[in-house]
Structure 1
Amino acid sequence: MKRLIASIGLALVAGSALAGGIPDSITTTKGETLTVPESIKKCMTCHLVGTTPWKPVFAGPQLNGAFGRPAGTFEGFSYGDDLKKGGWNWDEAHLTQWISKTTGGAKKAIQTFSGNPLAKTKMSFPGLNSEAEVQEVINFLKKL
C-alpha cells in the first residue's frame, strides 16, 4: 500500500512538473542564469534546481549544491535508511554510477556504495542512456 501511495504521489509530482513546464533556463542561488540541458530536465521531474524553495512534495531532494555534498544529507528530505547511512560524497565517480543506466543506475549503485547487496533506494529512475548525458548532468550540477 505504501508503494502504491508513493507511486501515485510521484506520478502527480511528475505530471504537475510537466504540465507547468520544465524551464529552459534557471537562476542559480549564486545569481547566474543557466540554460537547462535536456538531460537534466529528466531529473527535474522529481528534483528541483535553481532559486525556487524546495518543498517536501518533491519526490527527490534539491539538487543545488549536490555536487560534493555528503550522500543522504539534504535537510528536510526523507531519505531511505541505506542512503541516510551514506559514507560517500556526490563526486563525479559516484554520480556517474548513480545516474548511468549502463552501470545499473541508482538501484545497483546503492548496493555497491554501501557494500550491502540488499540495500535499497527510493529513487526509481533507471538511469541515463548515454555517457554524454551523464557528463552533461554532472557538469550542470557542478555549476549549481
Structure 2
Amino acid sequence: MTVLGLLPMPPARIESGEILFEGTDLLKLGEDEMQAIRGNDISMIFQEPMTRSIRSTVGEQISEAISLHQKVSDRVARNQAVEILDRVRVPDPKQRATEYPHQLSGGMRQRVMIAMALSCNPKILIAENRPPRSTSPFRPRSLIYAGSEE
C-alpha cells in the first residue's frame, strides 16, 4: 500500500528511501500524479476481496475503474468489464457483472478483485497475499506479492 500511496500519513511514516518507477520517485509525487499511476501503471489485488462498495454491482465497480483511467464511455466500460471477468474465468460473466459482492463466494470475489486490478492493463500488479491456486487463473511474471521474498 506504501507503493501506491494508500497509507494515511500520519500515522504512517516513511523515514527514508525511495520507490522508483520508470525513473520517478513515487514518494515525491502529489496526489494527482499518484492517481494517474494507480490502476494505469501499478495496480493492487487487495487481501479482503470486494470491501470497496457493497452498494454497487461487481460490473459497476470494474466499469468505474475502467472509465476513470481509460476515459471511455460507460457502455464501452461495461463491455470491457464483462470481457475481463471472462478472462479471469468467472463463469457466466455477463450475469455475474449484475450481481453484488455479497452474492458471490469468497473465491469468486477474489477473481473479481483480480479482474478489477487487471482492468487497465497495469505494468505492475501487486498482490497483498498470494491468492489460493484455486482462485488464481493466471501466473503473470509482473506479479509482485507484498511481503514475499520471491
TM over 0.5: no
Pick 1 or 2: higher relative contact order, CA cutoff 8 A, min separation 6.
Answer: 2
Question: Given the two structures, how large is their TM-score scaled by the length of structure 1?
Answer: 0.25
Between Structure 1 and Structure 2, the one with more helix by share is 1
Structure with bigger gyration radius:
2
Question: Given the two structures, how large is their TM-score scaled by the length of structure 2?
Answer: 0.24
